Amino acid sequence: MLSQIPVFVLTVRSFTDRHKSIRAQAERFGFTPEWIFEYDASDLTADDHARFADGVELPDPTKSLVLKHFRAMELIVERRLPFALILEDDAIFFSDAVERFEKICRALERLPSSWLIFLGGADNKIDDRFLSSDKNELIEAPITTTESYLVDLVGCEKRLGYVAKDGIRLPSDHQLQLIDPILGITQYKLADPLCSQGSITGLFDTELDGNRKRHSKAFIKLRYTYNRLRRQLLPRFMKWLRSRGV
């Protein structure tokens, strides 16, 4: 099933280590990446900057990434794709990705139009809805980052129409958090994440987050592991123990 899903990868031409990671995953999991190279920070034009609302001050790399997200959505609309997967170049799938995508795609058939399904958030704090559900269940909850998500055609049309009038105001994750509820687009998370993010796990140097730039990769990896353990893995294990009367 993953081999049949259009996959857009947002990247920068010089990020060859990230390209290598995506290519290795594409070979392992059987998908074909389409690279979005447009809108690199060094190439932004006056017209590109004009797509942001008046008074918005964002670093050029942040502008670059959000424009790449909307470029992927433009391609979805231009090609009339029913849905597609959008990845940032540091997305790292877990080993069971192929099996899980088959189940998730079956669930998509039951969703009303205008949706986004966030596949990441492996170190996010979760509530009992996530602990009590099958790992592939879709739980209504806002996106937290934008390393990996599925979107449908109708939702992309709505977003593009909105930002064409209102302008882009925020980084990609916050922009989607802001406008999707306004547009009636429902955001979902998986009960159990399907991927992690290499710049959060310490695999890659971060390019956007100033706080992470101040720390070593070893520290970032340790912090991610600790947060994943205390926020998700340990609560799931305790829930499992309680279900068995321990």
pLDDT, one tens digit per residue, over 29-70 is: 999 999 999 999 999 999 999 999 999 999 999 999 999 999
**29, 91 in Cβ contact below 8 A?**
no
The whole-model pTM stands at 0.92
Q: Name the token pair of 27.
A: 């070979």
Q: What is the pLDDT of residues 186-218, one digit of tens each?
A: 999 999 999 999 888 888 876 665 565 666 878
Give the residue-averaged pLDDT of 68-90: 98
Q: Which two tokens stand for residue 98?
A: 């192929």
Contacting residues for 44 by C-beta, under 8 A, at least 6 apart: 60, 63, 64, 67
Close Cβ partners of 232 (under 8 Å, ≥ 6 residues apart) = 122, 123, 124, 126, 130, 193
Write the CATH number for 137: 3.90.550
* Run of H or E residues at 33: strand 33-36
The answer to whether the beta carbons of residues 172 and 87 sit under 8 Å apart is: no
How high is the pLDDT of residue 91?
96
Q: Is 136 helix (H, G, I), strand (E, B) or coil?
A: coil
Token output for 48? 């590109």
Task: Specify the number of domains making up the chain.
Answer: 1
Q: Position 93: which residue type?
A: F
Give the mean pLDDT of 101-117.
92
What is the structure's pLDDT at 93?
96
Beta bridge partners of 8: 34, 86
Percentage of the chain with pLDDT > 70? 95
- For residue 207, the model assigns a pLDDT of 65
Range of the domain at 66: 2-243
Of the two residues 9 and 242, the one the predictor is more confident about is 9
At 151-170, the pLDDT tens digits run 999 999 999 999 999 999 99
Catalogue the E-assigned strands of 62-194: 83-88, 91-93, 115-118, 138-140, 148-152, 186-190
